[in-house]
């Protein structure tokens, strides 16, 4: 048994947080929690987890729900493709596998939206399969403990860290080992200000010895960020407004929004095909919304008009009904401060 495993397992037993998905072996609940926690902080994810298991206590319940109600519950978490994949995979498990979750890493990997990380988490936490979980926390702990300068987001890095994690995992306690190293990265060996002075691994940590903790892990340069300029048209038509559903392979697919004009630069619109400029009551200051590879600058145009000729995909709704539609977080944030 490796010293590394003994130390973090012992640390985990004493320090772990009591998180709701840790008190279950149900692969459906574990899968839900893992999908929610991708790109989401634990404290932000907990209410969503409770909401989902309350509305959909079994994978068959999630499968039977319509997509819009799933997206509504997901609202605020961002990265909506996660919710769509969740729903699609639930339908597949319910209809093709009689509601029974696949019980191995290899089978889990064949499901839509389940990559190596989620498959390893579900296989080890629910079925105690001997497969390592390698998430951002694990990369960081390993890169520091073994003082590795191979970029974690390179092909060579992915291979190296995976094989290191495979060598370290305890074959009889894979779930405990995976939970422990992930929690260790989340609480002790944190991205900023790791708690080296109280660390149980300090004696064997090579980055600590070599004073390279702040330089680990190494990442190759980030992908360039695409700037986009959105102009939302908020029509005021006798306490009604128009919305449209986003289509095509783009961000926020199938969510609803005010009719949108996208331009190549940040300048406000000087003409709007469906209205006269003197009907524009107000133009908001640009609001910036950051996604992983896109920076969106959005303006909202409040337009008073009772005679709009709508496009075929526009839907006229009462202002108050807007809350029943899943909308991007950017619009949600705007509406928190500006009621219709
Ligand atoms: S000594 Fe510091 S860098 Fe090394 S494992 Fe512990 S917390 Fe992480």
Arithmetic mean of pLDDT, 237-243: 94
In a domain, 137, yes or no: yes
pLDDT number for residue 312: 93
Interval 320-329: pLDDT, tens = 999 899 999 9
| Protein residue closest via CA to atom 2 of ligand 1 | 196
230 and 157 together in one domain: no
Q: Would you say 20 and 50 are in contact if contact means Cβ atoms under 8 Å apart?
A: yes
242 and 176 together in one domain: no
pLDDT number for residue 117: 92
197 and 262 together in one domain: no
pLDDT number for residue 2: 81
205 and 240 together in one domain: no
In a domain, 221, yes or no: no
Question: CA-to-CA distance for 56 and 62, rounded, in angstroms?
Answer: 5
Arithmetic mean of pLDDT, 53-67: 97
pLDDT number for residue 14: 96
pLDDT at 308 over 80: yes
Residue 220: band (very low, low, confident or very high) from pLDDT cuts 50, 70, 90: confident
23: Cα separation from own chain's centroid:
22
Q: What is the atom index within ligand 1 of the atom nearest the CA of 200?
A: 6
> Does 199 sit in the ligand 1 pocket, CB within 6 Å?
yes
> Does 213 sit in the ligand 1 pocket, CB within 6 Å?
yes
Of 3, 7, 190, 202, best ligand 1 pocket probe by most atoms within 8 Å of the beta carbon: 202
Arithmetic mean of pLDDT, 94-100: 96
Q: Is the peptide bond before 218 cis (omega within 30 degrees of 0)?
A: no
Distances (CA, A) of 40 to 49, 52, 323: 11, 15, 23
Instruction: Find the largest Cα–Cα distance for the chain.
Output: 76
CATH code for the domain in which residue 258 is found = 3.90.79.10
Which of 160, 181, 215 is the endpoint of a domain? 215
> Does 201 sit in the ligand 1 pocket, CB within 6 Å?
yes
Average pLDDT over the chain reads 93
113 and 49 together in one domain: yes
CA angle 328, 332, 333 (to 5 degrees): 115
In a domain, 171, yes or no: yes
Q: What is the atom index within ligand 1 of the atom nearest the CA of 194?
A: 7
pLDDT number for residue 223: 67
Q: What is the atom index within ligand 1 of the atom nearest the CA of 195?
A: 7
Q: Which of 308, 288, 304, 286 is nearest to 296 (CA)?
A: 288
Arithmetic mean of pLDDT, 211-236: 92
Which of 189, 215, 241 is the endpoint of a domain? 215
Active-site residue, from 3, 34, 54, 183: 34
50 and 132 together in one domain: yes
In a domain, 169, yes or no: yes
54 and 163 together in one domain: yes
Residue 157: band (very low, low, confident or very high) from pLDDT cuts 50, 70, 90: very high
pLDDT number for residue 307: 82
202 and 282 together in one domain: no
pLDDT number for residue 39: 80
Decide: helix, strand or coil at residue 50.
helix
Which of the residue ranges 1-15, 55-69, 78-92, 211-225 has the most confident prediction, judged by mean pLDDT?
55-69
CA angle 138, 116, 196 (to 5 degrees): 5
Arithmetic mean of pLDDT, 170-174: 94
In a domain, 220, yes or no: no
pLDDT number for residue 222: 67
Interval 130-140: pLDDT, tens = 999 999 999 99
Q: Is 34 a known active-site residue?
A: yes
Of 191, 213, 215, best ligand 1 pocket probe by most atoms within 8 Å of the beta carbon: 213
In a domain, 79, yes or no: yes
CATH code for the domain in which residue 46 is found = 1.10.340.30
pLDDT at 237 over 60: yes
> Does 257 sit in the ligand 1 pocket, CB within 6 Å?
no
- DSSP per position, 226-291: EEEEEEEEEEEBTTEEEEEE--SSSTTTT-EES-EEEESSSSPPS-BTTB-GGGEEEEPPPEEEE-
pLDDT at 67 over 70: yes
162 and 256 together in one domain: no
151 and 48 together in one domain: yes
pTM, two decimals, is: 0.71
Give residue 118's domain range. 3-215
- DSSP per position, 119-168: HHHHHHHHH--S-----HHHHHHHHHHTT--S-TTSHHHHHHHHHHHHHH
205 and 261 together in one domain: no
The Cβ of residue 291 has, within 10 Å, a number of other Cβ atoms equal to: 17
Using the structure block, give the residue that is written with the tokens 């000729």.
Answer: 309
In a domain, 205, yes or no: yes
Question: CA-to-CA distance for 49 and 57, rounded, in angstroms?
Answer: 11
Residue 189 Cα to ligand 1 midpoint, Å, equals 5
Residue 291 Cα to ligand 1 midpoint, Å, equals 30
> Does 217 sit in the ligand 1 pocket, CB within 6 Å?
no
pLDDT at 331 over 80: yes
pLDDT number for residue 198: 97
Q: Would you say 219 and 150 are in contact if contact means Cβ atoms under 8 Å apart?
A: no
> Does 205 sit in the ligand 1 pocket, CB within 6 Å?
yes
Of 8, 205, 210, 211, best ligand 1 pocket probe by most atoms within 8 Å of the beta carbon: 205
103 and 190 together in one domain: yes
Residue 215 Cα to ligand 1 midpoint, Å, equals 12
Number of domains in the chain: 2
> Does 184 sit in the ligand 1 pocket, CB within 6 Å?
no
């Amino acid at each position: 048994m490796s010293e590394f495993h003994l130390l973090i397992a012992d640390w985990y037993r004493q320090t772990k947080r009591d998180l709701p998905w840790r008190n279950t072996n149900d692969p459906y609940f574990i899968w839900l929690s893992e999908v929610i926690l991708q790109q989401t902080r634990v404290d932000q994810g907990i209410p969503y987890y409770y909401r989902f298991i309350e509305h959909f206590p079994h994978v068959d319940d999630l499968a039977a729900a319509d997509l819009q109600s799933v997206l509504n519950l997901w609202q605020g978490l961002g990265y909506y493709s996660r919710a769509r994949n969740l729903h699609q995979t639930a339908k597949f498990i319910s209809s093709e596998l009689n509601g029974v979750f696949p019980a191995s890493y290899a089978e889990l990997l064949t499901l839509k939206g389940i990559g190596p990380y989620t498959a390893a988490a579900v296989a080890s936490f629910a079925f105690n399969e001997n497969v390592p979980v390698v998430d951002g926390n694990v990369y960081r702990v390993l890169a520091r403990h073994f003082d590795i300068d191979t970029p974690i987001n390179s092909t060579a890095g992915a291979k190296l860290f995976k094989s290191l994690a495979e060598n370290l995992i305890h074959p009889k306690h894979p779930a405990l080992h995976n939970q422990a190293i992930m929690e260790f990265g989340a609480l002790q060996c944190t991205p900023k200000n790791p708690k080296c002075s109280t660390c149980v691994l300090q004696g064997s940590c090579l980055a600590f010895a070599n004073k390279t903790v702040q330089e680990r892990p190494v990442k190759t340069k980030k992908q360039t960020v695409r700037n986009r300029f959105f102009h939302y048209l908020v029509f005021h038509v006798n306490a009604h407004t128009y919305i449209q559903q986003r289509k095509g392979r783009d961000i926020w697919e199938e969510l609803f929004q005010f009719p949108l004009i996208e331009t190549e630069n940040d300048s406000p619109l000087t003409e709007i095909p469906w209205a006269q400029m003197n009907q524009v009551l107000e133009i908001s200051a640009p609001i910036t919304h950051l996604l992983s590879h896109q920076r969106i600058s959005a303006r909202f145009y409040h337009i008073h008009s009772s005679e709009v000729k709508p496009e075929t995909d526009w839907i006229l709704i009462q202002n108050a009904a807007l809350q029943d539609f899943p909308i991007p977080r950017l619009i949600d944030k705007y509406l928190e401060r500006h009621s219709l």
